[in-house]
Structure 1
Amino acid sequence: MKKIFYTLLLLLPVSVFASGAGIELEEADIDLSDTASLERGAQHFVTYCLGCHSAKHIRYKRIALDLNIDEAKVLKDIAPLNANIYDKMNTAMNRHDATKWFGTYPPDLSLIARSRGADWLYSYLKGFYLDESKPLGVNNSVFKDVGMPNVLWQLQGEQTAVIKNIDGQEVVTKLTLAEPGELSPKEFDRFVNDLVNFLVYVGEPVQMERKAMGKYVLFFILMFTVVAYLLKREYWKDIH
């Protein structure tokens, strides 16, 4: 029993242990049926993220189809200037320049929501705070010493952190808005949620269809089980 218990502990996500001290992850309100939110999230991604990060596993054509948006509107309101409807969401940033400026090439974000989780991503984007000891002047309460600037600082404002020493480690326990941004805290929460909602969609565009189809698959399995059981009884009744 002890071996089983310790094995289960090792399988627990790291975030479970991380929530024991410091700032806990905030819950993102993910709704892939909210096409208006997904459209806003796509616009936010192109405006604030595409300059450095790609989402190369999705095309603007797919966004138009899934969100039921006219292709001309996608090219006008979402895609960057001179983009083609069949283009992937690739950044124009040069790999050499990115490595020179940031120390590494910014990762593709197609699967970031699947690998990190929506709550992690939502909390990360809201978790930047001022830290003059860092080259970019900011740090992050969820991803310590991250090498990414706070590209949303004008919208959110500037935050300061309350840091306490817990078990010999400096832990961020609270973030305080020191300088308001262009958006109110509630508006910024919705902004980030729309962006995360879009990234969740990008990670698996067919998720809604998969879940809808899952109900029919389960119904088929149930009916097949009943038929198989009745057939088994018919075959074995003479033996018993």
Structure 2
Amino acid sequence: MNNKMNTISSFFKAALVALSISIASIGVANEGGFPLDKAPDRLNDMSALQNGAKIFVNYCLNCHSAVSMRYNRLRDIGLTDEQIRQNLLFSGEKVGDLMKVSMAEKESKEWFGKAPPDLSVEARSRGSDWIYTYLRTFYRDDSRPTGWNNLVYKNVGMPHILWELQGERVAKFEEVAGAHGGAGEHHFAGYEQLTPGKMNQQEYDSNMADLTAFLTWMSEPGQLERKRIGVIVLLFLAVFTIFAWRLNAAYWKSIH
């Protein structure tokens, strides 16, 4: 009995150590970077996922592919083949095709310096909060080749493809004295809106939340079904545990 308790205790100690290391790693990864905003959780909102899919196809898919995703997989977020065909296919693609771009890799390297990354699993790589904040922190920067920069991804090579929706703005920075008399640092101090967009800030943020939700779903399309099955399994185990407990009590009662 003592050996068993020692084993359990060792297991929990190891789990706590692993958890501590993971939390520390996350802290180090975020240290010194632009603070990330929490992305709204809309994975279970079919209308949000559908709007995110529309934004992705109309804006992102011009340069970024998603070769791990087929158009017909969008049935999982409530779209029919006819809706996909009428609203999301513009260049002769078929419903069963992969989400590819027509732009050649050689051309993309000439225009952007390197080929835009595939976005199939970008949300799993970067995280939903990173994507949500990144999409909302572009600003005008004439020193950059594209004329745009980003607070999350400094000196990004990607232009702000959604600028017509958000409008044009510049970021304001203020110099803050460094610690212990060190060199000063430039801290973000807000935006100055240059031209209005087709959406106000609240509408734009909401649409970026929808796009983030779609990218998160696309990175693991089976996650909603997996979570649903997980809940069912947990409920079954809970009921089974009650029956097993009562059966165990009845068994030992007859022995005693």
The normalised TM-score by structure 1 is 0.84
Are positions 1:142 and 2:152 aligned together?
A: yes
CA RMSD in angstroms, aligned pairs only: 2.8
Tell me the distance in 2 between the aligned counterparts of 1:8 and 1:191. 32
Q: Aligned runs of 1:121-160 on 2, under 5 Å? A: 121-160=131-170
Secondary structure class of the residue paired with 1:76: helix
Are positions 1:100 and 2:110 aligned together?
A: yes
Are positions 1:119 and 2:133 aligned together?
A: no
User: Partner of 1:11 in structure 2?
Assistant: 25
User: Partner of 2:14 in structure 1?
Assistant: none
Secondary structure class of the residue paired with 1:12: helix
- Which of structures 1 and 2 has the bigger CA Rg? 2
1:178 to 164, 170, 194: 194
Residue 211 of structure 1, CA deviation: 1.1
2:62 to 47, 51, 55: 51
How many aligned residue pairs are there? Answer: 232
Are positions 1:219 and 2:229 aligned together?
A: no
Q: Aligned runs of 1:3-82 on 2, under 5 Å? A: 7=21, 10-14=24-28, 16-18=30-32, 23-63=34-74, 65-82=75-92
Tell me the distance in 2 between the aligned counterparts of 1:118 and 1:18. 19
Amino acid at match of 2:225: E
Q: Which 5+ residue runs of structure 1 have no aligned equivalent? A: none
Change in 2 beyond 3 A, CA 1:211/1:98: same
Residue 212 of structure 1, CA deviation: 1.2
Residue 33 of structure 1, CA deviation: 2.4
Tell me the distance in 1 between the aligned counterparts of 2:45 and 2:101. 26
Identical residues among aligned pairs (%): 37
Q: Which 5+ residue runs of structure 2 have no aligned equivalent? A: 1-16
Residue 79 of structure 1, CA deviation: 2.2
Q: Which has the higher helix share?
A: 2
* Further displaced range: 153-162 or 5-14: 5-14
| CA deviation map 1:31-85 (0-9, x unaligned) | 122222211111111111111101111111110x212322122111012331101
Change in 2 beyond 3 A, CA 1:231/1:78: same
Secondary structure class of the residue paired with 2:62: coil
Tell me the distance in 1 between the aligned counterparts of 2:23 and 2:83. 49
Q: Check the 8 A contact 1:54/1:91 in 2, yes or no.
A: yes
- Higher RCO (C-alpha under 8 Å, 6+ residues apart): 1
The normalised TM-score by structure 2 is 0.79
Residue 229 of structure 1, CA deviation: 10
Residue 174 of structure 1, CA deviation: 2.3
Residue 13 of structure 1, CA deviation: 4.2
Change in 2 beyond 3 A, CA 1:9/1:121: closer
Tell me the distance in 1 between the aligned counterparts of 2:103 and 2:236. 49
Change in 2 beyond 3 A, CA 1:9/1:182: closer
Amino acid at match of 1:17: E
* Further displaced range: 10-19 or 220-229: 220-229
